[in-house]
């Protein structure tokens, strides 16, 4: 009977770092929920003009979806102690994250050349810049987390018996992927 109780306690034991990550993700979710709610409230304001969504935002969406696949493969490789594969997949995730960043920057440039600015008379374009910019700031922090996991992998600190750091990095990365997909289609819907 005592061993069953110990097994049950271990089964529901949550790593404090992962708990903090989930609390952080909850607060980030609320941030984006609040920003998109403000967007909806401002929708139809007299200074509201439809924004032509940059083609580069579509390419950045494809890049971040692919990066979630490579991040998942890195975690899977860690569970199987395939250190070389972890390095490959984390490097691909890092590169795709940088590609996402580059396409976002090109998207902003595209918006500017189409006459949509961060500050100006168009409330809609200000929201697109603000919300996507905040997401991009979170992507920068996730890129740093991937770099940290990659360094840990080179030091042989990521393997089947030490998965917390790569699992946390993956959770954060997938979360930001989902948030971007939501934002991208949200922007498309309100600018159709």
Model confidence pLDDT, tens digit, residues 134-152: 999 999 999 999 999 999 9
62-74, pLDDT tens digit by residue? 999 999 999 999 9
Instruction: Indicate the pTM of the whole model.
Output: 0.91
Containing structural domain, residue 159: 15-190
What distance lies between CA 19 and its chain's CA centroid?
18
State how many domains the chain has.
1
pLDDT value of residue 45: 83
pLDDT value of residue 26: 98
pLDDT value of residue 9: 53
Under DSSP, is residue 191 helix (H, G, I), strand (E, B) or coil?
A: coil
Distances (CA, A) of 116 to 74, 94, 112: 39, 30, 5
pLDDT value of residue 14: 81
Q: Is residue 154 part of a domain?
A: yes
Q: In CATH, what number is assigned to the domain containing residue 74?
A: 1.20.120.80
Torsion of CA 180, 183, 185, 189, to 10 degrees: -170
- Mean pLDDT by groups of 10 residues along the chain of 192 residues: 54 84 98 97 88 96 98 97 97 98 98 93 94 98 98 94 95 98 97 88
Q: Is residue 100 part of a domain?
A: yes
Q: Is residue 52 part of a domain?
A: yes
């Amino acid at each position: 009977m005592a061993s069953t109780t110990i097994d049950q306690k271990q089964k529901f034991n949550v790593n404090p770092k992962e708990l903090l990550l989930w609390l952080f993700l909850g607060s980030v979710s609320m941030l984006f929920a609040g920003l998109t709610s403000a967007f909806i409230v401002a929708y139809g304001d007299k200074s509201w003009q439809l924004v032509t969504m940059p083609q580069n935002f579509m390419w950045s969406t494809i890049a971040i979806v692919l990066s979630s696949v490579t991040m998942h493969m890195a975690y899977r490789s860690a569970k199987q102690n395939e250190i070389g594969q972890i390095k490959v997949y984390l490097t691909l995730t890092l590169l795709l994250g940088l590609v996402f960043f580059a396409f976002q920057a090109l998207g902003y440039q595209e918006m500017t050349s189409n006459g949509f600015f961060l500050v100006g008379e168009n409330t809609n374009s200000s929201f697109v810049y603000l919300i996507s910019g905040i997401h991009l700031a979170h992507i920068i922090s996730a890129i740093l987390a991937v770099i940290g996991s990659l360094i840990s992998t080179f030091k042989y600190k990521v393997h089947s018996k030490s998965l917390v750091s790569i699992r946390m990095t993956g959770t954060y990365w997938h979360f930001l992927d989902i948030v971007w997909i939501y934002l991208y289609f949200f922007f498309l819907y309100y600018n159709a």
